[in-house]
Amino acid sequence: MLKKVSILTSMLLFSATSALSSTDLQKVMKDRGLTERDVLAAAKTYVPTGMKDEYYVFSSGGQSGQVIVYGVPSMRILKYIGVFTPEPWQGYGFDNESKKILDSGKIRGQEIKWGDTHHPNFSEKNGEFVGDYLFINDKANPRIAVINLHDFETTQIVVNPVLKSTHGGSFITPNTEYVIDACQYAAPLENDWVPIEAYEEKYRGGVTLWKFDYTKGQIDEKESFTLELPPYMQDLSDAGKGPSMGWAFTNSFNSEMYTGGIEKGLPPFEAGMSRNDTDFLHLYNWQILEKLAKDPKNTKVINGHRVVTIEAAVKGGALFLLPEAKSPHGVDVTPDGKYIIIGGKLDTHVTIFDFAKIKEQIDKKEFAGKDSYGIPILDFKKSLHGQLELGLGPLHNTFDEKDGIVYTSLYVDSQVVKWNFRDLKLLDRVNVHYNIGHLDSMEGKSTKPKGKYGIALNKLSIDRFLPVGPLHPQNHQLIDLAGDKMELLYDMPIGLGEPHDVVSIHASKIKPKKTYDKMGTNSRTGEAHEGATLAGQERVERDGNKVKVYMTAVRSHLNPEHIEVNKGDEVTIYITNLERAQDETHAFGLSGLNVHASVEPGKTSSVTFTADLEGVFPYYCTEFCSALHLEMMGYLKVKDP
């Protein structure tokens, strides 16, 4: 052992010119009980001060409804982005501009105070990741959010008008034409109550195709539509590319159309939903559907939203089913767009379909049958490239730069398996801790995956971290994928909700702004803010009982420093940060009134409140911005006239 250590340490210190000696390293290793492997893992992940990470990772924040950003290989957390729920640290949900975003996420007029973010995805061109936008879905309250990656702020939330819960989103078509969101739990598309006995007739699933306007950076709700699907409980989805361009694929897990009833002594959902040996992969062509949706003959309008009927989709040759091993989970199209890999929770195999074989049946109209809704069913065997036994609970797949290489997560076995999807050869496996769900390699879901590092998103951590009560943090594990053998490098707890899925992108592809280009920008719209205030324009305007304060912030004062209003006035304060220097954010907090806004250089934020309480309310800058930051303050005086 000692001999091995000395070989490693001399290697590590070969070019070192400092006073460090191999004895120092050996002492640390001995004191901390580190092995040579630990030291090597540390050397592979440690990013010294001043150096930056090679990749950005965007992680779902699970039940927090947020997105978490960290760097790889260091696994250092860079940011929490407020998405579906208020995030006070950046004034998200407190200033008027972000309140407007959160308000657009109201469901049938109700404010929703939580989210269950699942699948983040980047904007794409030719199936390659472009660091302009990030999309993420909320499974609980079926919504999609758009995050602008030039300032890492949420700029849009759209609510699904017909589906009552969604899971298979957000999946992006290769040129960001559409953001796809697939249903999870079937329900009536209308908002009415319908008895469960009418499940087959009235309950429906579907996939919503949200049209994305790339220049505006916005989902165009009017141009978006939903494809109606049977109540098979749709699940994860992926978009085709290359030869399968135009197609998209969505799993399902209730071909039984079982409706539960444990309280009546019926078998529970879990038993009733796994009776059949197979479920259905849905195959649909969004390029054809887009045309069909334009003709009112093919659609019904529900809650003001176009729904392409099953009948019209079948007639138009845009919808097919393919049996898949029961209770599947992930579906992933290979980077070349030729194969579709499906993981089955209850199967030890992954199933690999060959798109060319699928296409041949569609072109020749050779079907194995039809389901009860009239959707043509393709032949399982004729569509198959092969099946490979990987272990218990294969869930998700991610790809590598090396041709044919795929990594699959095994939930039950708590392992990552490396294999080749072309020749169906098993190559390597590594243990993870524990019960892995999603798995990502660098840019692993794009047409140009880099591999290099893998991130295992483990549902349980059990004994890996200092315990923090009965609820343990989940574990993001970093895996070295560069060599033939996978090596576990690092464990990171996040402790902010279940990190369902991550996406990664090379750091060079993200180009965040240093300051907002135009002084007085509304960051949520990118446009000039109506309350933009330049130096010398600070003022208070009154119109009846409406008071508008045009304030500026610059080191180290807020201007004005005294605001006098009457009890009952509606007060709006516009704060413009006049700084041009990098990282000189100011923020505005008003004591006791639930008012907070973060104002980055060049931004204008606004807050509105009714001054119902008489008194003196200090306000101050909440970012420690200079030596005289504490002095960056003022008073709001509310008088009873």
Tell whether residue 410 is a contact of ligand CUK (CB under 6 A): no
Tell whether residue 395 is a contact of ligand CUK (CB under 6 A): yes
Contacts (CB under 6 A) with ligand CUK, residues 540-599: none
Question: Taking a C-beta distance cutoff of 8 angstroms, is the pair 351, 331 a contact?
Answer: no
Between CA 142 and CA 165 the distance in angstroms is 5
Tell whether residue 438 is a contact of ligand CUK (CB under 6 A): yes
Tell whether residue 331 is a contact of ligand CUK (CB under 6 A): no
Among 279, 501, 569, 600, binds ligand CUK (CB under 6 A): 501
Return the one option of ligand CUK, ligand CUA, none that residue 595 interacts with (CB less than 5 to 8 A, by type).
Answer: none
Pairing mode of beta strands 218-229, 305-308: parallel
Tell whether residue 143 is a contact of ligand CUK (CB under 6 A): no
Identify the residue whose tokens are 């600070």: 538
Tell whether residue 167 is a contact of ligand CUK (CB under 6 A): yes
Q: Which residues are CB-neighbours of 341 under 8 A, at least 6 positions away?
A: 330, 331, 332, 333, 334, 350, 351, 352, 397, 406, 408, 421
To ligand CUK, the closest distance from the beta carbon of 62 in angstroms equals 9
DSSP-assigned letter for residue 401: S
Between CA 39 and CA 36 the distance in angstroms is 5
Tokens of 435: 């019960």
Tell whether residue 629 is a contact of ligand CUA (CB under 6 A): yes
To ligand CUA, the closest distance from the beta carbon of 84 in angstroms equals 29
Q: Which is nearer to ligand CUK, 437 or 602 (CB)?
A: 437
To ligand CUA, the closest distance from the beta carbon of 80 in angstroms equals 20
Phi-psi region of 278 (alpha: psi -120 to 50; beta: other; left: phi over 0): beta
Between CA 310 and CA 316 the distance in angstroms is 10
Tokens of 193: 């109550």
To ligand CUA, the closest distance from the beta carbon of 638 in angstroms equals 24
Tell whether residue 596 is a contact of ligand CUA (CB under 6 A): no
Question: Taking a C-beta distance cutoff of 8 angstroms, is the pair 248, 273 a contact?
Answer: no
DSSP 3-state of 578 = coil
Tokens of 44: 């592979």
The amino acid present at 529, given as its one-letter code, is: H
Which residues share a beta bridge with 46?
none
Among 119, 241, 450, 586, binds ligand CUA (CB under 6 A): 586
The amino acid present at 182, given as its one-letter code, is: A
To ligand CUK, the closest distance from the beta carbon of 409 in angstroms equals 8
Among 119, 164, 345, 464, binds ligand CUK (CB under 6 A): 119
Among 233, 239, 283, 632, binds ligand CUA (CB under 6 A): 632
To ligand CUK, the closest distance from the beta carbon of 184 in angstroms equals 9
Tokens of 184: 């999870």
Between CA 226 and CA 182 the distance in angstroms is 9
Question: Taking a C-beta distance cutoff of 8 angstroms, is the pair 70, 52 a contact?
Answer: no
To ligand CUK, the closest distance from the beta carbon of 344 in angstroms equals 12
Of the ranges 155-163, 310-318, 335-343, 617-625, which one interacts with ligand CUA (CB under 6 A)? 617-625
Pairing mode of beta strands 546-554, 570-577: parallel
Tell whether residue 120 is a contact of ligand CUK (CB under 6 A): no
Tell whether residue 599 is a contact of ligand CUA (CB under 6 A): no
Of the ranges 69-77, 285-293, 315-323, 618-626, which one interacts with ligand CUA (CB under 6 A)? 618-626
Among 59, 84, 118, 137, binds ligand CUK (CB under 6 A): 118
Among 625, 634, 636, 638, binds ligand CUA (CB under 6 A): 625
Q: Which is nearer to ligand CUA, 29 or 633 (CB)?
A: 633
Return the one option of ligand CUK, ligand CUA, none that residue 625 interacts with (CB less than 5 to 8 A, by type).
Answer: ligand CUA
To ligand CUK, the closest distance from the beta carbon of 506 in angstroms equals 23
Q: What angle do CA 546, 551, 552 make, to 5 degrees?
A: 165
Tell whether residue 578 is a contact of ligand CUA (CB under 6 A): no
Q: Which is nearer to ligand CUK, 395 or 481 (CB)?
A: 395
Return the one option of ligand CUK, ligand CUA, none that residue 118 interacts with (CB less than 5 to 8 A, by type).
Answer: ligand CUK
To ligand CUK, the closest distance from the beta carbon of 396 in angstroms equals 6
DSSP 3-state of 363 = helix
Identify the residue whose tokens are 């001054």: 611
Distance of CA 102 to the CA centre of its chain: 17
Q: Which residues are CB-neighbours of 602 under 8 A, at least 6 positions away?
A: 515, 516, 517, 518, 519, 520, 521, 577, 579, 580
Burial 448-476 (b: 16+ CB within 10 A, else e): ebbbbbbbbbbbebeebeeeeeeebbbbb
Return the one option of ligand CUA, ligand CUK, none that residue 621 interacts with (CB less than 5 to 8 A, by type).
Answer: ligand CUA
CB closest to ligand CUK, residue no: 437
SS3 of 376-392: the string is EECCHHHHEEEEEECCC
Return the one option of ligand CUK, ligand CUA, none that residue 429 interacts with (CB less than 5 to 8 A, by type).
Answer: none
Tell whether residue 503 is a contact of ligand CUK (CB under 6 A): no
Sign of CA dihedral 412, 415, 418, 423: negative
Return the one option of ligand CUA, ligand CUK, none that residue 586 interacts with (CB less than 5 to 8 A, by type).
Answer: ligand CUA
Tell whether residue 329 is a contact of ligand CUK (CB under 6 A): yes
Between CA 623 and CA 628 the distance in angstroms is 11
Among 71, 169, 437, 454, binds ligand CUK (CB under 6 A): 437
To ligand CUA, the closest distance from the beta carbon of 620 in angstroms equals 7
Among 57, 180, 219, 621, binds ligand CUA (CB under 6 A): 621
Q: Which of 336, 180, 343, 179 is nearest to 251 (CA)?
A: 343
Q: Cis (ω within 30 of 0) for the bond into 195? A: no
Cα→Cα distances 201→114, 229, 230, 231, Å: 32, 12, 9, 9
Among 132, 151, 498, 623, binds ligand CUA (CB under 6 A): 623
Q: Which residues bind ligand CUA (CB under 6 A)?
A: 586, 621, 623-625, 629, 632
Which residues of the shown chain bind ligand CUK in the complex (CB under 6 A)?
Answer: 118-119, 167, 236, 329, 395-396, 437-438, 500-501
